[in-house]
Amino acid sequence: MSKLKAVLFDLDGTIINTEPIHAQAFFETFRHFKIGPDEKKFADDFLGASDYDVWKAVVLDKQATINFIDFRNIKNKFFSAILNESTMVSLNGLLTKGVTDFIFKLANQKMKLGLVTASDLFQTSIVLKKIGFEHCFATICTATDTFFSKPNPSPYFYTMRQLHVKTEDIIIFEDSYFGLSAAMQTGAEVIGLATNAKVKENIKFKKLQFINDFKDDLCLNFG
């Protein structure tokens, strides 16, 4: 780790477990537009997916005439409402254990920090402000910064260019199938968050190191 120059994080499911909030906002949006995918199948298939990928897979599959901008705006309305109804206590309870101390430890070490998320800028900004992380990252890549989203590695390569670092200079923390797939394609060192047993047990990720949270010895001894 002597050459390490930057640490890149996913947001939803890695730093904070906002996946249930996204899922609830999606279901409210589906009901608003009177389209209804199976909730269990949706949760399994679209964990970590961008709004655009969900719209493309669900709305277009239903042959509904709903444009993406309208879909995203309604989803953001519900997402914001759910977050605003959440107390700081409940949001702090969604943070992955040890993540606050770990990120501030890295910042104190002058480590370059990047955030790579499939959420859009609106959603990302709200979450970061709510948890007090809005000034932690040197660069933030959201869903609209690259043409392709995860599982394509483009968001990670974009973030590396912004930070002026190479693959061998970084470590990536990710949790979802889409996110881990994207991170692995960069060739960088990837650490998985074992927040989803189904993802952890996937044979595609059998060579990855997984941690339960940021209180793991790997993080405590970092740097």
**Which pLDDT band holds residue 2 (cuts at 50, 70, 90)?**
very low
Q: Looking at the 3D structure of the chain, how many domains does it have?
A: 2
Tell me if the bond preceding 37 is cis, omega within 30° of 0.
no
**H or E segment to which residue 123 belongs:** helix 121-131
Are 214 and 179 members of one domain? yes
> Among residues of the chain, what percentage have pLDDT more than 70?
95
d(CA 25, CA 76): 8
pLDDT at position 1 is 45
The answer to the question of residue 1 being in a domain is no
How distant is the alpha carbon of residue 172 from its chain centre?
A: 12
Are 154 and 182 members of one domain? yes
Are 208 and 108 members of one domain? yes
pLDDT at position 89 is 62
Final residue of a structural domain among 35, 69, 88: 88
Alpha helix segments (H runs only) across the chain: 19-32, 39-45, 51-54, 68-85, 88-92, 99-108, 121-131, 154-163, 177-184, 197-200, 217-220
d(CA 148, CA 155): 7
Are 120 and 202 members of one domain? yes
Are 124 and 53 members of one domain? no
Characterise 132 by phi-psi region: left (phi > 0), alpha (psi -120 to 50), beta (else). left
Which pair of structure tokens corresponds to residue 166?
A: 């190479």
Are 99 and 197 members of one domain? yes
pTM: 0.90
Which pair of structure tokens corresponds to residue 18?
A: 């906002």
Segment 37-72, tens digit of pLDDT:
777 767 667 777 899 999 988 887 776 789 999 999
Segment 122-144, tens digit of pLDDT:
999 999 999 999 999 999 999 99
Q: Which of 177, 175, 179, 182 is nearest to 211 (CA)?
A: 175
Q: Is the pLDDT of residue 77 over 50?
A: yes
Contact of 24 with 94, CB cutoff 8 Å: no
Q: Which domain holds residue 76?
A: 19-88
Are 104 and 177 members of one domain? yes
Are 108 and 77 members of one domain? no
Segment 192-217, tens digit of pLDDT:
999 877 888 888 999 999 999 999 99
> Among residues of the chain, what percentage have pLDDT more than 90?
73
What does pLDDT average to over the chain?
91
Are 84 and 171 members of one domain? no
Q: Would you report the helix, strand and coil content of the chain in percent, each value rounded to 5?
A: 50, 15, 40
Final residue of a structural domain among 40, 57, 88: 88
Query: What CATH number has the domain bearing residue 38?
Result: 1.10.150
Using DSSP's 3-state secondary structure scheme, residue 95 falls into strand
Q: Is the pLDDT of residue 179 over 70?
A: yes
